[in-house]
Amino acid sequence: DAGVIQSPRHEVTEMGQEVTLRCKPISGHNSLFWYRQTMMRGLELLIYFNNNVPIDDSGMPEDRFSAKMPNASFSTLKIQPSEPRDSAVYFCASSFSPDLFGGPRVDYEQYFGPGTRLTVT
């Protein structure tokens, strides 16, 4: 299996530029998560989708951040405009989850992609 695929692996950009991070989840998974990891704040959930629908975006820090999942095999996280404090490693993770709204509960694990290291200068 290919696992979760993220691109680019490294991104260096100047303050004010638009940054787009991409994620391809594992085939068959129906939940997708975007995390940000920094030394100061640790691993934070930004947003997650279930069946391509955003379920919780309360972790998105500001309106400069937006995420989309146009289909089951692709998601983007966009930062516009970028700022130096956005520098972090951004992880995408996917899992198979039951119906959140009343379906039987089964166990799941989140499979993380390799991450995108973003540096904003």
Partner 1 sequence: QQPVQSPQAVILREGEDAVINCSSSKALYSVHWYRQKHGEAPVFLMILLKGGEQKGHEKISASFNEKKQQSSLYLTASQLSYSGTYFCGTETGNFGNEKLTFGTGTRLTIIP
Contact 59, 45 (CB under 8 A): yes
Give whichever of 80 and 107 is closer to partner 1, judged by the CB atom.
107
Contacts of 111 (CB under 8 A, 6+ apart): 3, 4, 26, 29, 93, 94, 95
How near is the Cβ of 94 to partner 1 at its closest, in Å?
11
Q: How far is the CB of 97 from partner 1 (least distance, A)?
A: 6
How far is Cα 121 from Cα 106, in angstroms, rounded to an integer? Answer: 44
Q: State in angstroms the smallest separation of the CB of 35 from partner 1.
A: 8
Instruction: Report which residue type is found at 39.
Output: M
Contacts with partner 1 by CB under 8 A lie at 31, 33, 42-45, 48, 50, 55-56, 91, 95, 97, 100, 105, 107-115
Q: Which is nearer to partner 1, 14 or 44 (CB)?
A: 44
